[in-house]
Amino acid sequence: MRKGTLVAAIGVLAVACSACSGSSDSPAVGHPGTTSLGPGAAASGSVSSSAATVPSGANWTVYHGNAEATGVQAAQIKLLPSRQAWISPILDGQLYGEPLVADGRIVAATENDTVYVMAARTGHILWSRHLANPVPSGDLPCGDISPVVGITGTPVIDLARHEIFVDADTLIKGPSSSGGVEASHRLFGLDLFTGKVELSQSAMPSAGEDQLAQLQRPGLTLDHGRVVIAYGQNFGDCPGPNGPAHGYVVSIPETGGPLDYFQIGSGKDRGAVWMGGSPPVVDPQGNIYVASADGYNLGAGQPYDDSDAVLELSPTMHLESIFYLSDWQQLSGGDLDLGTGDPALVDGFVFQIGKTDIAYLLRQGHLGGEDGEVASLPVCQGNPDGGHAVMGSVVYVPCPNGVTAIRVSAKAPYLKQLWTDNDGAGGGPIIADGLVWTIGHDDAVHGLNPANGKQVVSIPFGAFANHFPTPTAADGLLLLPGTDQVFAFMGPAGLPPAPPAS
């Protein structure tokens, strides 16, 4: 172990629930089996729910809803027929994380290092807290987030503590070893009800690391009273001006204190953990699964450096098992990260896909080492575009050519492709109200039939969504992150109750 907007009017949308089982009694608009409505348009479905239905599934406190990041809203939340509930005010920076929901409140964090809490009922801002000065993109050695980099990864909420945890990239004024500015990643804990700062501490191992080159892209998660944070490099994998930048997985007590960590890469730098914005995946025993990206150790005779791998870590950051391919140097040299996708836990297996467009099936708890996969299957046409969803034995993969459903079996051939959506819906999917929901490249959210991938609904929400966007379903709402706003749609139950005071 190594320690160490766009804003546009949004029409009313109504769709027959019979479409969820592969048929539709509603007339198609623009696409068979699809309802797609522009501003001011309206349609009526053949099935409706009682307006007295009480919204359920009130909370969504971590990326894709739970520690295993399955993206499944298990409660009987009803989203169809759906209509606009509200649009948030324009926030002070871009949104790259998924909106979260807790105790009648919506939580969103911006690249300007500001956390906002809004009423789920109205979208009105209850409080906001500007935590620090973000890092101007011009001060970074490379990257594609602009004009500033602050809070990029999705926060996480501990409901028992009523506390929001975020990792903020902060600018430190003053000289560094090269005479320039320095950056620091800090973990903040904020009271959900008041915004009071309960925790502020360094969240990165400091020895020899240049945090100007570190990007905190994956969502945060919780494990046995600790906040788990993963790091990588900025887009371009460039080294920092003041030193190396390795990939890390870090674990910090929720109350603050010394951190445990695992460093990826025995070389000079690299080995990012980014996984399309998905957090480290935590199994019921508390072990943590991450996937790493390109490494540095290229050329004959160089030692393997944990790059382009799937890693299983203990809660104390010991390496328990690993999977990697024997051509890891070629993968790193060709920028063919295995770690673009996130590990999916399915029926005792781990499903992983990266830039090679090949999915690998591994045994959970014993990942197999070098070339130790149980099975493999060509799947995507291009990089996965966010976190997966898992329902039963099926993994829904965010391929850029369309969300793709893969069934995992305990017997050969182990992996079987069921369908691929062809309607431009390729973002990180979630599952709610019997549909697979995904934000497409057309700035619309699409609802797909999980049985065959056919599009049932399409909701244009009139806002450019940043890279790897993913929706949220909670408190009777479907929430969509735009560039710098949150868009909310409500189901037949109407608006959720007003948030409790405390």
What lies within 8 Å, CB to CB, of 34 at 6+ separation is: 28, 423, 455, 456, 457, 458
- DSSP 8-state assignment for residue 340: G
- DSSP 8-state assignment for residue 348: T
For 29, the token pair is 């608009």
pLDDT at residue number 326: 93
pLDDT at residue number 233: 85
- Using pLDDT thresholds of 50, 70 and 90, give the confidence band for residue 403: very high
pLDDT tens digits along 47-71: 222 223 333 468 999 999 999 999 9
CA-to-CA distance for 195 and 9, rounded, in angstroms? 31
Its pTM stands at 0.88
What is the arithmetic mean of pLDDT over 222-237?
Answer: 91
pLDDT at residue number 52: 30
Backbone angles phi, psi at 152, to 5 degrees: -105, -50
Least confident of 11-20, 81-90, 184-193, 357-366: 11-20
Backbone angles phi, psi at 377, to 5 degrees: -155, 130
Most confident of 28-37, 269-278, 320-329: 320-329
CA-to-CA distance for 186 and 269, rounded, in angstroms? 21
Report CA-CA distances (Å) from 104 to 44, 117, 479: 29, 10, 13
Residue whose entry in the numeric block shows the structure tokens 């993969």: 397
Give residue limits of the domains in the chain: 17-490
Averaged pLDDT score across all residues of the chain? 85
Please tell us whether the domain made up of 17-490 is placed in CATH 1.10.275.10. no
pLDDT tens digits along 459-501: 998 777 788 999 999 999 999 999 999 999 999 999 999 998 8
- Using pLDDT thresholds of 50, 70 and 90, give the confidence band for residue 164: very high
pLDDT tens digits along 263-316: 987 666 788 899 999 999 999 999 999 999 988 877 778 888 898 999 999 999
What is the arithmetic mean of pLDDT over 435-442?
Answer: 92
Give the three-class secondary structure for 443: coil
pLDDT at residue number 273: 93
Q: Is the pLDDT of residue 179 over 80?
A: no
pLDDT at residue number 156: 98
Backbone angles phi, psi at 239, to 5 degrees: -70, 160
Q: Is the pLDDT of residue 261 over 80?
A: yes
By the 8 A CB rule, do 440 and 447 touch? no
H or E element in which residue 171 lies:
strand 163-172
Strands 477-481 and 486-490: antiparallel
CA-to-CA distance for 192 and 198, rounded, in angstroms? 10
- Using pLDDT thresholds of 50, 70 and 90, give the confidence band for residue 382: confident
Whether the bond between 315 and the residue before it is cis, its omega within 30 degrees of 0, is no
CA-to-CA distance for 219 and 212, rounded, in angstroms? 19
By the 8 A CB rule, do 353 and 377 touch? no
Most confident of 2-11, 55-64, 142-151, 368-377: 368-377
pLDDT at residue number 384: 85
Question: Pick the residue with more confidence: 140 or 22?
Answer: 140
pLDDT at residue number 174: 55
Backbone angles phi, psi at 3, to 5 degrees: -95, -115
- Using pLDDT thresholds of 50, 70 and 90, give the confidence band for residue 209: confident
